[in-house]
Amino acid sequence: MTDENVLIVQADSAETSLGWASLGARRWRCTLGAGGVREDKVEGDAATPVGEFPLRRIYFRNDRLVLPKVTLPARPINEHDGWCDDPRAPIYNRLVRIPNEWSHEKMWREDALYDVVVVVGYNDDPPEGEWGSAIFLHLAREDYGPTQGCVAFARDDLLELLPLLTHETRLRVLSHPADEAARPSSANDDIKQFEDFDEKDW
């Protein structure tokens, strides 16, 4: 798989949810989870999971926008759509009809965050344990405030990205922030320590 098929997401630093997403030569501002980026994500920690994941399908509000031509399967959201976030449920991390007896979030929202949603194939094949649910690409708040674990984009940016996503596209969330990659390597640090070494320290 080439980088043209990998949507790479990386936080700016460990102190912010802001980051960048790139697909091939294109790049978009995004925001990540309030709980940071974690390899050991669990339900309710508001963290964006580290790793590489497929993209499943698109849900959208056809009363609020016109979806561009896309390759991924897509269908409108309705008022009875929810997403189960209860690890005890047999329908955990699945689209569900509401009302129902299990804990869930509503897909039909008053705000615009879920006007477009791309479902990320995280902990869904099959859902297990309490490793987290409802990981999406969706719309960001105007101030790019942190998400509950999803990756969020400005409206125009996500609408630009959608037609580029295919069944082959994978989301890759990097574990290290961009500012760490810019720091001197540990090898350089070791050389500096050796240069500062004084035999009198023996």
Beta bridge partner(s), residue 48: 37
> What pLDDT is recorded for position 190?
47
pTM: 0.89
Q: What is the pLDDT of residues 35-52, one digit of tens each?
A: 999 999 999 999 999 999
How do residues 123-148 score in pLDDT, each as one tens digit? 999 999 899 999 999 999 999 999 99
> Which residue has tokens 């070494």?
197
Closest CA to 102 of 35, 43, 34: 43
Report the pLDDT value the prediction gives residue 185, as an integer from 0 to 100.
Answer: 52
Number of domains comprising the chain? 1
The pLDDT, as a whole number, for residue 184 is: 57
Question: Mean pLDDT in the chain?
Answer: 91
What is the residue range of 77's domain? 3-201
pLDDT above 50: residue 192: no
Burial (CB < 10 A; 0-12, 13-18, 19+), residue 1, is exposed
Query: Which CATH number is 84's domain given?
Result: 2.40.440.10
CA distance 81 to 104: 10
The proportion of the chain whose per-residue pLDDT surpasses 70, expressed as a percent, equals 88
User: Residues 74, 132: contact at Cβ < 8 Å?
Assistant: no
- Residues 179 and 12: beta-carbon distance below 8 Å: yes
Q: What is the pLDDT of residues 103-117, one digit of tens each?
A: 999 999 999 999 999
